[in-house]
Amino acid sequence: MTEVFKGNFTQQEPIPEEAIEAAVAVMRSGRLHRYNTLPDEAGEVALLEQEFAAFTGAKYCLAVASGGYALGCALRAVGVAAGDAVMTNAFTLAPVPGAIASVGARPVFVGVTDGLVIDLDDLQVKISESGAKVLMLSHMRGHIVDMDALMYICNGAGVIVVEDCAHTMGATWDGVPSGRHGAVGCYSTQTYKHINSGEGGLIVTDDAEIAAKAIMLSGSYMLYGKHIAGPPAEMFENIKYDTPNVSGRMDHLRAAILRVQLKHLPEQVEKWNARYRTFEAGLRDIEGLTVIHRPQAEGYVGSSFQFLLLDWDNAAIEGFLARCLKRGVELKWFGAPEPVAFTSRYDSWHYADPQPLPDSDRVLSAIIDMRLPLTFATEDCALLARIVKAEVKSD
C-alpha cells in the first residue's frame, strides 16, 4: 500500500498557556504601547530585551516590529547610505536584499556553495571588486558558514558584518551564539521562526553607538531612558537630533508572548534537531540526492531541511515535486523559473543590478526545501523520508 502523509506543513504549535495568560494581562491593562508603562514598571518589551540580551550574551538589545525592519534598522545604524554597495548571499529570502534596497543601497550578491553557505572565495572577490564596506550575512535556512574564517576576511578588509539570524535563533558556531560574531545580529519572531509572535524582530549588539542609533531609529522619541537593555543616556546626546524616527517598535502584547517562549527555546531546539536527524537518516545514500553536510562546529536548529538534486533537469524536478505533493509532502524548489510564495532567488529581484553567478546557479537550481514544524512527530519525519526516497528512486 502506498504511504501518504496527512500532516500540515504550516501548522505551528499552539502558543503556551503561560504566554496566553501574560498576553491577556497586557490586554486587560490596556497599555499595549512599549512606552505606556506605570512609574517604576519596566514593561514586557524592555524585559524581553533584557532577557534576550542575556540569552545571546549581548550588551544591548532592541525589540522591533519585524525581522525585516531589524535588518533595515541595523543597516542605517551602522551608517549605510543611499548608493552604497552592501554585500549579501545569493541564497537568501527577499527581505534581505529588500532591506538593502529600502535604505537606497545596492545589493551585491555573493555566491553560494553546495553546503548552502556563502562562498568565502567569492566574498573576497566581491569585497575587492565592489568596494563594499558592509556584509549582510544571511544564515539562510539555518546553515552557518565558518564564522572564524569569515570574520578574518571581513576584519582584514574593514567590512562591517550584520548577521541575518532569522533562521538561527538558538544556533551556535563553535559555541558562540549566532548573531554574536558580527557588529549586529538581527532575528525574526515571525510565525515560522523559532519563537512566534506573528511578526516581530530583535537586534543585538555590543556597540553602544549602534545600539543608541537603532533605538532612536525605532521610534523612541526621547524615551530612550526606558530601555533597560540599552546604552547609557550620554550615548544619545550626540545623535538624538540627527537620527530620523523610522518607527518600528514592538508592543507589549507580542513581547509577553515571546518572553515565555524564549525560556523554553533550548528544549525546543532539541525537539527540532531530533526531527531533523530522523529525516536526515532516511535520506542517506540515495543516488541522485545530496544531503547537506553539517560541520562539527555548527550547532544548528533543524526547523527546516534542505537537500540537492544536482544536475536534474527542470522537468525531472517538477515531476518529483508533483509526485511528492500527491503523497502529501510539500516541498519548495529554489530553482523554479518564477517566484512562488516565499521562495525566490537573486535573479528574481529586478531592483538589483543583474549579476551573473553561474557556479551558484547550479546549486540554487538544485535546492529542495521542507519545513519541519514541531507539530510533526519523529515518526512523521521517518515517513516523510520514506516518501521522498521512493519518489527520487522512481524518477
Residue 282: CATH number of its domain: 3.90.1150.10
Looking at the structure, tell me whether residues 339 and 274 fall in a common domain. yes
pLDDT, one tens digit per residue, over 232-258 is 999 999 899 999 999 999 999 999 999
CATH number at residue 189: 3.40.640.10
**H helices of the chain, where?**
17-29, 44-56, 67-77, 95-102, 120-130, 147-157, 208-217, 252-263, 265-282, 314-326, 358-364, 378-393
Grid cell 574564517 is found at 149
State residue 134 phi and psi, 5-degree precision: -135, 135
Q: Could you tell me the pLDDT band of residue 394, with boundaries at 50, 70 and 90? A: confident
In this prediction the pTM is 0.97
Classify each residue of 336-352 as buried b or exposed e, where b means 16 or more C-beta atoms within 10 Å of its C-beta: beeeeeebbbbbebeeb
Grid cell 496566553 is found at 20
pLDDT confidence of residue 1 = 60
Looking at the structure, tell me whether residues 366 and 253 fall in a common domain. no
pLDDT confidence of residue 134 = 98
The last residue of one of the domains, among 263, 285, 306, is 263
- Residue 367: give the domain boundaries: 265-393
The last residue of one of the domains, among 242, 263, 284, is 263
**Dihedral sign (CA 339, 343, 344, 345):** negative
pLDDT, one tens digit per residue, over 16-33 is 999 999 999 999 999 999
Count of Cβ atoms closer than 10 Å to residue 133 Cβ? 18
- Mean pLDDT for the stretch of residues 53-70: 98
d(CA 177, CA 201): 17
Domain count of the fold of the chain: 2
Looking at the structure, tell me whether residues 270 and 365 fall in a common domain. yes
Looking at the structure, tell me whether residues 270 and 255 fall in a common domain. no
The last residue of one of the domains, among 240, 263, 286, is 263
